[in-house]
Structure 1
Amino acid sequence: MPNYLLTRIGESLLAIWGVVTIVFVVTRVLGDPAVLLLPIGSPAAALAELRSQLGLDQPILTQYVHFLGQAVRGDFGNSYQYMRPAMSVVLERMPATLMLAGSAIIIGIVLGGIAGLLAAIKRNTFVEYIVMFLALIGQATPMFWLGIVMIMFFAVNLGWLPTGGYGSFSNLVLPAMTLGTFVAASVTRLFRSSILDVLREEHVRTARAKGLRPKTIYVWHIGRNALIPVVTMVAILTAELLGGSAVAETVFSWPGVGRLIVQSIETQDFPVVQAAVCLVTTIFVFINLLVDIGYSLLDPRIRSHGGGHE
């Protein structure tokens, strides 16, 4: 187990380093930050002075080492738009994103788990066909379109909920349901398939031959093994929602990190983009590390062979 953990931690650190390096390269390719900070038509002397202050006149390798040192400390410079540390701007938006992503995951797990189990139990029946059809529709529906439909129905026509905003539970319902619908559809399809795969395994037939109660078989022999791929998917979806919920956050005017990234790209506020991307990546990698640990706890064969997700 210690060797397995050390290997996974090493791979996680390598992944974070790779993303930080890509961020550095991309921001240098996009253009000179000094040009963006100064007014159009500024004299060359002012441009040269600002480039010197920002360290942009140094060799690229020196800039890269300096950038890595700052990134380790969470220092990505000041936001061009907000005129304060970029990371603090991102961290201010993180609670809103965590709230939205967490609510969507809870909705997705509850609805998807129930639907997936129902579809597996009612296999080859009308119930399974309906559940799987709805799951397919949930995965195929564009998130922005679903959000607009929910706004039109629940906010405009019925007047039950606000069209957007942030600050109360009612503001959270529609964006959480929009994201939760996609999560539920994914969990439903995977959980059903996982249960059916486990049902065909030898140890389940042995448990039935021993005369164990159906509840015991489903909980200990089927449920535990069927959860392994679901745990992976839920964890990865959680990490993706932290940085990939920009569409829902934009549609519902939710002040999260995803919306901040979109706004910062539009205004060319590169320090904020760098800070947000690196922070979301770190969270994503950390969650995947937890997935690997959880995977090994659910299936000891993984850590004994040092394998990955197979």
Structure 2
Amino acid sequence: MSRYLLVRIGQSLLAVWGIVTIVFVVTRMLGDPAVLLMPLGTPDAQIQELRNSLGLERPMLFQYADFLRHAIVGDFGLSYQYFRPAMHVVLERMPATITLTGSALLVGSILGAITGFGAALARGRFLEFPIMCLALVGQATPVFWLGILLIMFFAVELGWFPTGGWVGAASLVLPTAALGIFVAANITRLFRSSMIETLSEDYIRTAKAKGLTSRTIFTVHAARNALIPVITMLALLAAELLGGSAVTETVFSWPGVGRLLVQAIDSKDFPVIQAGVFLIATIFVGINFLVDLLYTVLDPRIRLGK
């Protein structure tokens, strides 16, 4: 177990280093930050002065070394737009994104597990068809389009919820529904397939031969092992929602990191972009690390290396 843990920690640290390096390279590939930050027609002397103040005249290797040294402690410099430490700006928006992502995952995973379990039990019966049709539609529907429909109907027409922003708990309902439906659709299809595959295993037939009840077989033996791929999917969805909910946050004017990054890209606020990408990527790696540890609880064969 200790060797497995050390290997996973090493892989996680290597992944974070790779992400930080990619962020550095990509921001430099966008062009000279000094030129991008200054308006058109700015004299070369002022551009050179800004370049010197940002340390951009130094060799690229030295810039990378300084960037890496500061990134380790979360220092990405001052925001060009807010004139405050970029990481502080991102951290202020992170609770809103985590709240939205967590709510969507909670609602979507519960709904998806129930419908997926029901579809597996109803395999070959009439109930399976409408469940899988709804799951397919939910998976194929663009989240931003669904969000616009929810706003038009429940916020504009009925006036039940705010159209956007944060004005209380009611503001969380529509964006959670938009993202939660997408999560539920993915979980439904995967959990159904995983349950059907698990129910065909030899140990399930052995449990039936021993006289165990169907409820015990489904809930204790089959569901536990069927959850392993579902947990993987939840980890990927969590990362996708954390990093890819920018469109949803923009549609609902949600004060999260995704919307902040969109605004930072528009204003060429590179420190905020770097800090946001670094923080989201670190959370993504951390989630995957925790999932790997959870695998060892659900399936001891992973822990024992079998």
Q: 1:157 to 1:42 in 2, by over 3 A?
A: closer
The normalised TM-score by structure 1 is 0.96
**Residue aligning to 2:185:** 185
- The range that moved more, 181-190 or 257-266, is 257-266
**Residue aligning to 1:218:** 218
CA shift digits 1:83-122 (9 cap, x unpaired): 1111111001101001100110011011101100110111
**Residue aligning to 1:122:** 122
CA displacement at 1:52 relative to structure 2:
2.1
Counterpart residue type for residue 104 of structure 2:
A
CA displacement at 1:193 relative to structure 2:
0.6
5 Å-filtered alignment, 1:111-150, equals: 111-150=111-150
Counterpart residue type for residue 33 of structure 1:
P
**Residue aligning to 2:228:** 228
Q: Hey, which bits of structure 1, 4+ residues long, moved more than 4 A?
A: none
CA displacement at 1:302 relative to structure 2:
1.6
Distance 1:129 1:41 in 2: 63
Counterpart residue type for residue 172 of structure 2:
L
Distance 1:45 1:268 in 2: 21
- The range that moved more, 238-247 or 69-78, is 238-247
CA displacement at 1:39 relative to structure 2:
4.3
Runs of 5+ in structure 2 lacking a partner?
A: none
Distance 2:110 2:14 in 1: 35
The normalised TM-score by structure 2 is 0.97
Counterpart residue type for residue 203 of structure 2:
H
CA shift digits 1:113-149 (9 cap, x unpaired): 1100110111111110000000000000011110111
CA displacement at 1:219 relative to structure 2:
2.2
2:102 is aligned with 1:102: yes
Q: CA RMSD in A?
A: 1.2
Distance 1:135 1:44 in 2: 57
Distance 1:41 1:159 in 2: 49
**Residue aligning to 1:153:** 153
**Residue aligning to 2:207:** 207
**Residue aligning to 1:51:** 51
- Matched positions, count: 306
Distance 1:30 1:238 in 2: 28
Counterpart residue type for residue 116 of structure 1:
G
**Residue aligning to 1:277:** 277
Distance 1:161 1:42 in 2: 47
